[in-house]
Amino acid sequence: MTGAVIGAERSKSATSVGVAMGLDAIVILVFVAIGRSSHTEGETLAGIASTSWPFLVGAAVGWILSRAWQHPTRLWPAGVVVWSCAVAVGMGLRVIAGQGTALSFTFVALGFLGATLLGWRLVALGVRRVSERP
């Protein structure tokens, strides 16, 4: 391969990793914004940041453990590990930070983040399969 082709492949790969990371972060931020809004806690930047950082750190741990950058749109291991770490590490960090971790909140986090962190990956899989058809 020529240097230009290799550079283009790396650029495409880096773009897909960046998009995947961005989608994961957006999903978590939407989860936090909806939760804060439904509890009338306000949607200030500081409030969203204080609620979202544990889940964002958890997702980052999941990215590292699963090496999600290699295949960021795969359900396994990327999606499942990012999802489980976002919730497990996120809740653990919330405990350490003195934030609430009611059992019902944990179930809501599991459900919402599972549906969305895995959901966008399922959509990407479907789009990829459709586009690969002759």
Assess whether pLDDT exceeds 60 at residue 8: no
Within 10 A of 14 (CB to CB), how many other CB atoms are there? Answer: 11
Q: At what angle do helices 45-66 and 3-38 cross, to 10 degrees?
A: 130
pLDDT tens column, 73-87: 999 999 999 999 999
Are 62 and 82 within 8 A, CB to CB? yes
Q: What's the pLDDT at 42?
A: 66
pLDDT tens column, 41-52: 667 899 999 999
Which residue bears the tokens 């650029």?
A: 11
> Which long-range contacts (C-beta less than 8 Å, at least 24 apart) are formed by 9-15?
none
Report residue 98's pLDDT band, with 50, 70 and 90 as the boundaries.
very high
pLDDT tens column, 103-113: 999 999 999 99
Q: What's the pLDDT at 90?
A: 98
Rounded Cα gap, residues 125 and 55, in angstroms: 24
Assess whether pLDDT exceeds 70 at residue 20: yes
Are 73 and 16 within 8 A, CB to CB? yes
